[in-house]
Every structure is written in C-alpha cells, then in structure tokens.
Structure 1
C-alpha cells in the first residue's frame, strides 16, 4: 500500500477540483454551440480509451478489471453517471456555472440522507439537522417565492440527486469489487450509453471547437488521474472537504469568463450548503474514529 501523505493528498485534491472546474467551463462553451449529448459522447470516447489503457496496464489486464461481483449494478452505475453528466452540462447552459454548482454542492447531503435506505447506515439527529440546514440553503438559492424562480433550477438539483445515488452505488459495489473494476465499468458501460444517446445528435464541428473538445478530453483524463492519485496517498475523509473548492473555481470561471452575476441569495445559500456538508463529513469521520 502507498505511504499516506495527507498534505500531498490535499494539494492533489485542490488540483483535481481546478481541473474539473476547467472541464465544466469548456463543457459550457461547447454545449452552447452543439448538442449537449454529442459533446458528452465525444468526451466519453476519450475517457473510455483512458480507462482501457489504465486497466490494461494493471495486473491481470482487462479480464481482471472486468471481473465483478455486481456486473449489472456496475453497468447501471456507469449509465447513471453518463445521464448525470448530460443533465449537469444542460444546467450549465440554462443556469450558468455559478448557480448550477451552488445547487449541486448539496450532493454530499443527499449522500448522507440516502445512506440509510441504500446502504443501511445509521444517520443520527445531528447529521439530519445538518441535512435540513443544507436544504434550507438550496431553497434560499432557488428563491421559489422571490419572483425569479426558474424551472431550470431543478436541473442541477436532479443532477445532484443522480450523482449522490451514483456515489452510494459506488460504495455498495466496493463491498465486492476493487476500485479498478468500478473505474473500468464507469468507462466501458458509460461510453456505450453515451454513444447510443449522442450518436443521434452528431453535427460537424469547426476546427477551433475540435481544439476545445481535445482540451475537454485532456482535462477529463487529467482530472480522473489526479483523483486516483488523491486516494492513493491520503484518506478520503481528510481530503474530501477540499472538493468544495470546485464550487469556488467554477464560480470564478462563470463570473470572469462568461459574465455571470453573483446574487446574494446564491452566496448565502451556498455558504449554508457547504457548512452543512462539512459538518456531515466531520461527523462521519468522528463516527469512523
């Protein structure tokens, strides 16, 4: 097992969130010009090639990576992530990076809320209180009675729910499968679903946009590689709080590059969500300790 280095893990997580925020910004640009599902499909072609390369270089190769105790659940996981990514990129187009990520930041709270029914884990009253506070934050962001509520605001919330379910299923299959197997199925089943959906929406791309697409694919591979390295050198509980930096980086891109605005209710609501999420992570770590 690799030696634990929490400081390195934290810096790698910061780098990971920055790369994923760049990926979100490029996705928003391309999805504004082309169909979302086509963009996600091409991104998955490159991602699947990366997954197969990683799996092929490990002991046992592709055959070992494909061995699963939960093959159909793994296939469902991969398909669910593809649909979630399509939904989230759609949110970037309709709502922008700032508000999409502010709402999506609630997904750790959804993980905590659903860990009981899905995984049979106990969630105490303190974490339920934090979950409730976080969802008050979501309501503040959405402002349903403020006259500015848009039905598009439900899109990132749906993406957060789907990603929370994906995360819970990932934890569930980890009871019988290695992380290498889960990574393999994420790429392979994902690319099949992405192509089955996105192939219907193919249109030619311009040269400059192919360059952006190439950068999107590279950031995707780099982000996943960095994420793998994060969990090789540090415990998840130590680095997970820094994942919230993606909200900061993506929002900065939205403000500076795409000219989005920052409303007070989004800042206040996102602050409540992040604080509640950090508390649930802290409680989970206390219980593990």
Structure 2
C-alpha cells in the first residue's frame, strides 16, 4: 500500500503524539518517584506487549507473519536496548527532573547522525558534522561541566539519548530485511519478557489512586506509538519530524506547572543550540534524500 503524503494531517498527528508522550513522561516521573522504576516500566510493558500482539493478530498473516524474521538476534537486541533505555530515562526524570532530562535527551537525532557512518556505513558530510558539533556545544552548555556546580546525575539523560540513538540505528538496520510490523512486535514482546524477569523482583504494593495513574501510563504509551505509526503512514517523515521537538515544550510546561521545576538560562541557551542543529541535520537529510 503506497504511503500518503497529507502533510497537515501528519503534522497534527505528530503534535498529538508529542502531547501524549509528554503526559507519559510526567506520569512516569510521578510513579517512579514513589515506586521502583523497574516495576513501573514492567507494568507499562505488559500493556505495550498486549497492544502489539493485538495489532499483529489483526494484520494480514496474523501473529505468524509478525514474528517471522531471519535476524532474531538483532530484534532481541533492539528490544532489550529500548527497555533498558526507558529505565534509564525514567530514573533520570526522578533525579534530574523533566525539563533538564528532556533538554539533554533531545540531542539523540544528532547522535543518530554521528553514528550512522560507523554503524550503517552512511555518508556524513562536513555540514552535518558541523551541526553535530554545535548540538554538543549545546549539551555542554546545559550540563556545565567544570563550573563547580556540575551534577553527576546530569549524564543520565545523555546515556539515555545514546542508547535511544543506537536503538534507532539498529531499527534502521533491521528494516533492510524486516517489515515495520515485525520490528514493532519484537520490540514490545521482548521488552515485556525482559522487564518481567527483572521487575517482579522489585514488586511493591501500589495504592488504588496510583493504579489509575498506572493505567493512564499504559494507555498513553500505546496511544502515543499508535499516533506515530499513523503519522508516518500519513506523511513523509522529513515533513513532520521537526514538529517532534514540541515534545520538549509540553514537557517543560508540565515540569514547571506540576513539579515546580525551574527553567535555567543555560538550559534555554543549550536547548536552542541543540534544536537548531537538529533541525539543520533533518533539513540536510531531506535535501540529500
């Protein structure tokens, strides 16, 4: 089935996805601040796995088609890497806050560009390398190493961004031989198995009110992924990807209004550099595509 290219609808879907993912971040911070991170991510993955299995069952060929791959090792590695990245990211929310965590994490497209050469053998020209350098200057502005007030926890979102960039690159590599539905199925099911094996050891009783928040977390996780899938079916990725940066705006609003976080000048300046460099990189990829 040929892909549509309804850009206004694609932008609307991307903006909706960023709102949902920001809500997911806020709920994750609330729950992981009270309960063990592994348990929170485990329950979230149970719902995610049920969601991808239901999608696969309804698709042509059913579950048998979804699970079929000749690169199971790669698919398992992707699933494990994403589950680990989510744990690191959620832990970062609890120790660093939503705003500063997301401000650093959004450098991941630059990491994807930087690593696409050694990992995928893609050509990265000097213009994109310059943009990557500007973006990492922005990261340094936010982290402020050597300023005497450097918080060692601030490297957590950078680690999370690196893990997510590797996951994205492995997903690109897997797409050379597997369908998107196959990669999506393995992502959800492998993550659920891994997190169950870990999370059950950290089970804690949860209040009735927080079970409602947990249900909302599960729903936002599944609905956010569904919105992204529909977004990329509706419009070309290059046209809608710049609007993914609105995720940072919504997260900042949540951090300030609900969690009492501060927006430092260094975060504003650093984020401006990162977003500008990221948009330039996306533009170069689209121009060369």
Which band: TM-score by shorter chain?
over 0.9
Query: 1:12, 1:70 → 2: CA distance?
Result: 31
Any residues of structure 2 matched to 1:44-55 within 5 Å, and which?
44-55=45-56
In structure 1, the partner of 2:220 is: 219
The total of aligned residue pairs comes to 288
The answer on 1:82 being equivalent to 2:91 is no
Q: Deviations over 1:62-86 (max 9, x none)?
A: 0100011311100110110000000
The answer on 1:101 being equivalent to 2:102 is yes
Deviation of 1:3 after TM superposition, in Å, equals 2.8
Deviation of 1:2 after TM superposition, in Å, equals 4.4
In structure 2, the partner of 1:134 is: 135
The answer on 1:43 being equivalent to 2:44 is yes
Deviation of 1:199 after TM superposition, in Å, equals 1.1
Segments of structure 2 that go 5 or more residues without pairing to the other structure are none
Deviation of 1:203 after TM superposition, in Å, equals 0.8
Segment drifting more, 95-104 vs 142-151: 142-151
TM-score, structure 1 as length reference: 0.99
In structure 1, the partner of 2:33 is: 32
In structure 1, the partner of 2:254 is: 253
In structure 2, the partner of 1:278 is: 279
Deviation of 1:181 after TM superposition, in Å, equals 0.2
Any residues of structure 2 matched to 1:1-289 within 5 Å, and which?
1-288=2-289
Deviation of 1:146 after TM superposition, in Å, equals 2.0
2:3, 2:235 within 8 Å by CA — same for their partners in 1?
no
Query: 1:118, 1:162 → 2: CA distance?
Result: 13
Counterpart of 2:149 in 1: which secondary structure? coil
Segments of structure 1 that go 5 or more residues without pairing to the other structure are none
Counterpart of 2:73 in 1: which secondary structure? helix
